[in-house]
Amino acid sequence: MLAVVPTDATRPRPVSPALLAVLAILSVQFGNALAGTLFAQAGPLGAAALRLALAAAILLAVIRPRVAGWDRRTWVGVGMLGLGLGGMNALIYLAIDSIPIGVAVTIELLGPLAVAVAGTRRARDLLWVGLAAVGVLLLGLERSGGGLALVGVLAAAGAAVFWALYIVASARLGPRARGVDALAVAMVVAALLVVPLGAAPATAAVVDDPRLLLAFAGIAVMTSALPYALEFIALKTMPTRIFGVLSSLGPAVAALAGLVVLGQVLSGVQLLAIAAVIGASMGAVLSGRQPPEGDRPAA
């Protein structure tokens, strides 16, 4: 029998890393939107607690992090990663409970944007700051007309701060811990911080409907395990700068998820504000320095 030698025509083509990055964004934002449909049962903090606890369990089982040899500085760095993840997840869920998810993720994107342009003296970087400020101003004008709840805006702004903390901690951690190991342990830290805050509503909701455990296990996979795996594969062949540009599309995908899953229709002003912040983020990434590895949490 003659052996069949694969040719270029028969050999399967590798999946585009850009497609993998976009799929990761879709998974995160639609997973968060699905979590929003369960807030009535578990509450935002209960949902965050369930999602982080299950995500930590899944990542520990799959990755089995190797922490032998970590020094004190590495443990402190991973702890800061966990603090960033925990604060970001808890606050973004509180924001989504009060304002449209597309708007919440837009405000949250200001965190990495601030890190990208921090300490800059270049005029073009100040231009991106100005464009982002226009977007925020538009959202503020919309809020003054009764369109947005102040508590949701503040929660999203807090999530932005914790996202910035995650980026800085990730950059300072450097090569002292492998990315996947650091992420798994950081997720455990995040769960330990958030679970006590949402344990009561989460427990009551699960006792009332045990199927919520399965639902949040799926959400944990959609918002943590799956997107991180897709991003990990994509970043093997994709420049981090291009990945950063694609990640800037998060608010647009979140707005789509809000429309499809939650039935949230944004106003023209809100859509314009989202476009301004996305444009500022893309501009800052393309014109700035190469972002550090791991600056996009899979969360």
- The answer to which of 114-123, 189-198, 249-258, 282-291 has the lowest mean pLDDT is 282-291
| Whole-number pLDDT of residue 137 | 82
| Whole-number pLDDT of residue 146 | 56
- Are 22 and 248 in contact by the 8 Å Cβ rule? The answer is no
> Which sequence spans correspond to the domains of the chain?
17-287
| Whole-number pLDDT of residue 238 | 77
- Are 218 and 49 in contact by the 8 Å Cβ rule? The answer is no
Q: Whose CA is closest to 55, among 206, 186, 221?
A: 221
- Are 122 and 275 in contact by the 8 Å Cβ rule? The answer is no
pLDDT tops 70 at residue 14: no
Mean pLDDT across the chain: 85
- The answer to which of 17-21, 132-136, 147-151 has the lowest mean pLDDT is 147-151
| Whole-number pLDDT of residue 95 | 96
Band of pLDDT at residue 143, cut at 50, 70 and 90: low
User: pLDDT of 167-187, one tens digit each?
Assistant: 888 878 766 666 688 888 999
| Residue 17 CB contacts under 8 Å (≥ 6 apart), including other chains | 233, 234, 235, 236, 237, 238
- The answer to which of 89-93, 175-179, 259-263 has the lowest mean pLDDT is 175-179
Q: Looking at 26-122, which runs of residues are DSSP E strands?
A: none
pLDDT tops 60 at residue 94: yes
Q: How much is the average pLDDT of 21-35?
A: 93
- Are 285 and 245 in contact by the 8 Å Cβ rule? The answer is yes
Within 10 angstroms of residue 95's Cβ, the number of other Cβ atoms is 28
37 vs 229 pLDDT, higher one: 37
Burial 254-273 (b: 16+ CB within 10 A, else e): bbbbbbebbebebeeebbeb
- Interatomic CA distance for residues 94 and 31, integer angstroms: 15
| Whole-number pLDDT of residue 20 | 87
- Written as one letter, the residue type at 264 is Q
- Interatomic CA distance for residues 226 and 30, integer angstroms: 12
- Are 213 and 57 in contact by the 8 Å Cβ rule? The answer is no
- Interatomic CA distance for residues 193 and 87, integer angstroms: 8
| Whole-number pLDDT of residue 17 | 82
Which H or E run includes 239?
none
Query: For helices 72-96 and 150-173, what crossing angle results, to 10°?
Result: 160
Instruction: Give the up-direction half-sphere exposure of residue 256: CA atoms within 13 A in the CB hemisphere.
Output: 11
Q: How much is the average pLDDT of 144-151?
A: 70
| Whole-number pLDDT of residue 287 | 74
Q: How much is the average pLDDT of 128-141?
A: 83
292 vs 52 pLDDT, higher one: 52
